[in-house]
Amino acid sequence: MITISTLLDKEWHERYKRIANLNIRSSIYDVTNRCNLRCQGCFFFSSGEHEVASEEMDIKKWENFIDREKARGVNLAILIGGEPTLCLDRVEAFYQRLPTYCATNGLIKVDRARFPGMMVGISLWGGGEDEKILRGRDTFAISSANYAGDPYTYYLYTITPKQLGNIDAIIRKIADVGLKVHLQLLSNDEGVDGFSWKEGELADLRHEMDEVLDKYPQTVISSKYYHEIITSGQMLGRKFGWRECPSVTEALDTRSPQPKRLIHFARWASDLKTVHRCCTSATRDCSTCKDGAAHMSWIMVNKRAHIRTTRDLQNWIEVYEMFAKLYRLIPW
Amino acid sequence: MPASKDIKGIIRHVAEIIIEELKLEDVTVDTFSPELDLIDELGIDSMDLATIALVLQDEYKIVIDEDDYPQLKTVRLIAEYIEGKLSTES
């Protein structure tokens, strides 16, 4: 009988046990419909999600809602937007009740006296020129000044096709300000000219992602198996898409047969009543979706499929460790 | 409800359900150790456990609270849990 012990040596088994019982129940929350940037390719605006629900303005209703989410079993709140830091009272309501991760463009500094241990992920869409094209300004100078050396912050670097061959320079900039970085890929929801992935580019990208992971192991929070899956869209001979995606809101998930999925997952709009279909845009073609969190979760929920060879299981462990590090569930 | 409600019968039936639900091909009811740690050794996750719990609830007409999942770590512990439920609910 194949068991964890028959596949792993003692060191890897210890690593497995460290993560196997984490039992994460995450959900995603739109904190606001507003943002201080309007980025081309941001699914929230391109798919009109900022207009599907009116923001709840009463902080007491937010607090009651978060209490209900906690009672529902959520133990990790992932805050997105809009720009969550425009509504720090709502962010605080989450942070006081649940382990909380706040995605931000980094233009507004989160006060660490008020949010001492809250995980912050700063979006970065490449080098200065790409940022100006896609986001209207180069955000790095501001965000890096706001968060340099912060032990609870990392960059969420969305790689675009234009950065092939130049990823190293961006990672070095991040390392130089004492921050860490996680890698994901642009899905180009708005079809900006020159920012869609072409045949062959993703294989080159995978190689480059592997190189920066080897070169900056203290800076890049990632794994080579994750690089393989997100660039190929394939895992153990299966193709990513609607039938496989784990990050579908549970109440809207009518798929049959039901794939492995995130238990109790929901993505809530800022009216605290509406739920979105999934962790990203409902207008996106799932077969070409490059969402990093969805691909990471796809691997994580398919643990038993990886219990077949030592390498497969080690790959799974490395991806789960990557996830756990991104939320500081285990040390960096 | 399964015919046998003694602990040995429950253990065998729980093992049968796990083998069937997880589609385990390299183990039988006779070779499935009731002491095997289902998480640390077999690698089942909470969704697997939820699936198994649904079948067990249906078979034994009991309620398995999600908060109780962490204690259901082996076939024997699951069987003892069911036995306890059956005795309190009968």
The pLDDT value given to residue A76: 97
Residue A244 counted as domain residue:
yes
Cβ A57 vs Cβ A90: under 8 Å: no
Best B26, B40, B49 residue to mutate vs chain A (most A CBs within 10 Å): B40
Our count of domains for chain B comes to 1
* A5 lies within 8 A of chain B by CB: yes
* B54 lies within 8 A of chain A by CB: no
Complex ipTM: 0.84
Q: Which residues of A touch B30 (CB under 8 A)?
A: none
List beta partners, residue A185: A159
Task: Kindly write down the DSSP assignment for every residue of B34-62, as one continuous string.
Answer: TTS-TTTTS---HHHHHHHHHHHHHHHT-
Q: Please give the structure tokens belonging to residue A98.
A: 């649940």
Residue written as token pair 């194949």: A2
Chunked into runs of 10 residues, chain A (332 residues) has average pLDDT values of 94 94 92 91 81 94 98 96 96 98 97 97 91 91 97 96 94 98 90 87 97 98 98 97 96 94 95 94 88 96 95 98 96 91
Residue A11 counted as domain residue:
no
Residue B78 counted as domain residue:
yes
Q: Residues with Cβ < 8 Å from A107, sequence gap 6 or more?
A: A36, A37, A83, A85, A139, A142, A143, A146
* B40 lies within 8 A of chain A by CB: yes
Give the sign of the dihedral formed by CA B63, CA B65, CA B68, CA B69.
Answer: positive
**In chain B, what's the furthest Cα-to-Cα distance?**
36
For the entire predicted model, the pTM comes to: 0.93
Residue of A nearest to B41 (CA): A4
Contact check, Cβ <8 Å, A304/B45: yes
Q: For residue B48, give the nearest of A20, A23, A304 by CB distance.
A: A304
Q: Please give the structure tokens belonging to residue A292.
A: 């990093």
Cβ B74 vs Cβ A36: under 8 Å: no
Residue range B25-49, pLDDT digits in tens: 889 999 999 999 999 999 998 889 9
The CATH number of the domain holding residue A234 is 3.20.20.70
CA distances from A258 to A242, A251, A255, A264 (A): 11, 13, 5, 14
The pLDDT value given to residue B46: 83
Residue B1 counted as domain residue:
no
The pLDDT value given to residue B1: 65
Task: Kindly write down the DSSP assignment for every residue of A251-268, as one continuous string.
Answer: GG---SSPPS--TT--EE
Residue B2 counted as domain residue:
no
The CATH number of the domain holding residue B21 is 1.10.1200.10
The pLDDT value given to residue A191: 82
Radius of gyration for chain B, computed over Cα atoms and rounded to the nearest angstrom: 12
Cβ A287 vs Cβ A234: under 8 Å: no
Of the pLDDT bands very low, low, confident and very high (cuts 50, 70, 90), residue B61 is very high
Residue A157 counted as domain residue:
yes
Nearest to A73 by CA among B57, B67, B73: B67
The pLDDT value given to residue A184: 95
The pLDDT value given to residue A281: 83
Contact check, Cβ <8 Å, B27/A23: no
Cβ A92 vs Cβ A110: under 8 Å: no
Nearest to A211 by CA among A234, A183, A187: A183
Radius of gyration for chain A, computed over Cα atoms and rounded to the nearest angstrom: 19
Contact check, Cβ <8 Å, B40/A20: yes
Residue A306 counted as domain residue:
yes
Q: Which residues of A touch B36 (CB under 8 A)?
A: 3
Cβ A92 vs Cβ A114: under 8 Å: yes
The pLDDT value given to residue A43: 80
Task: Kindly write down the DSSP assignment for every residue of A18-58, as one continuous string.
Answer: HHHT----EEEEE--S--S---TT-HHHHTTGGGSSPPP--
Strand ranges (E), A247-326: 267-268, 275-276
Our count of domains for chain A comes to 1
The pLDDT value given to residue B90: 63
B49/A264 Cα distance (integer angstroms): 14
Residue A266 counted as domain residue:
yes
The pLDDT value given to residue B3: 59
HEC string for A219-230: CECCCHHHHHHH
Domain span at A150: 22-326
Residue written as token pair 């995450």: A26
A227/A222 Cα distance (integer angstroms): 8
Residue B49 counted as domain residue:
yes
Residue A3 counted as domain residue:
no
